[in-house]
Structure 1
Amino acid sequence: MSKKKIVLAEDNSVLALLLKFKLEKSGYDLQIAEDGKQAIELIESHQPDLILTDIMMPYLSGLELISHVRNKLNLETPIIVFSAAGQEENVLSAFDLGATDFMAKPISPNELVIRIKRLIR
């Protein structure tokens, strides 16, 4: 069975490396984008099984990324959104645009793996 592919859009390099270590150890193939623009390029070229995105990022926000994936690429790929606490309006917008799940920062890598397993079997 081939590894499930995940694209992570996260501009915090420490968090991105922590999640890369945890997800690859859990058997996933992870591609990291440092901003929304790079994330779209990775999504288009890798056809991931799941997308993880922060809301606040350079160039393209996580909300713009979700909108692009749902409306321009017409993909049903599950999307888990990360956001700092107190961003309820952004979270609601993310769900309106088609996000599948949400996690507040700081993220628990173990909880993230459980959520991913639930979304991509």
Structure 2
Amino acid sequence: MKILAVDDDQLVLLPLQKKIQELGYKVMIADNAKKGIELFDSFKPHLVIVDMNMPETSGFEFIEHLRVNKRSSTPIIVLSGYNNTEIISETFKLGINDYIIKSNNFDDLHSRIKRVNIFFQIQ
């Protein structure tokens, strides 16, 4: 399974990359949404993990670009510090598959990836 992780915070992105690799998945990272879109096109991930609060192009805009412009049904998990129910609701309306509140560890990440994997039958 190939995973694309997009987050502008290196203190989140690099440990996230390490954790995903430890779980046995292939991962590419991008530190902004523009790079994320470029990698999405070339890497063709089976799953995208994205932050919402990024400069220039937000996670909302990134997700909207994938869902509307690219008409992609690739599963998306949001990993964000936002825990506002309105924001969470809006991201689900955009078509995400899961929402994780950021913390200092990624213990829950594997079960979330597995759940998306099972639902979408990703190899």
TM-score of the aligned structures, taking structure 1 as reference length: 0.90
Q: What is the CA–CA distance in structure 2 between the aligned matches of 1:116 and 1:108, rounded to whole Å?
A: 15
Match of 2:71 in 1: 74
Percent of aligned pairs with the same amino acid: 36
Residues 97, 12 of structure 1: alpha-carbon distance in 2 compared, 3 angstrom cutoff: same
Q: What is the CA–CA distance in structure 2 between the aligned matches of 1:62 and 1:106, rounded to whole Å?
A: 18
* Deviation >4 Å, runs of 4+: none
Report if the CA contact (8 A) 2:83-2:101 is conserved: no
Match of 2:121 in 1: none
Gaps of 5+ in 2: 119-123
Helix, strand or coil at the partner of 1:6: strand
Aligned-residue Cα RMSD (Å) equals: 1.3
Report how many residues are paired: 118
Cα deviations across residues 6-41 of structure 1 (Å, max 9, x unaligned)? 110111101111111111011111111111111111
Q: Following TM superposition, by how much is the alpha carbon of 1:72 offset from its aligned partner in structure 2, in angstroms? A: 0.9
TM-score of the aligned structures, taking structure 2 as reference length: 0.89
1:28 partner letter: Y
Helix, strand or coil at the partner of 1:27: coil
Gaps of 5+ in 1: none
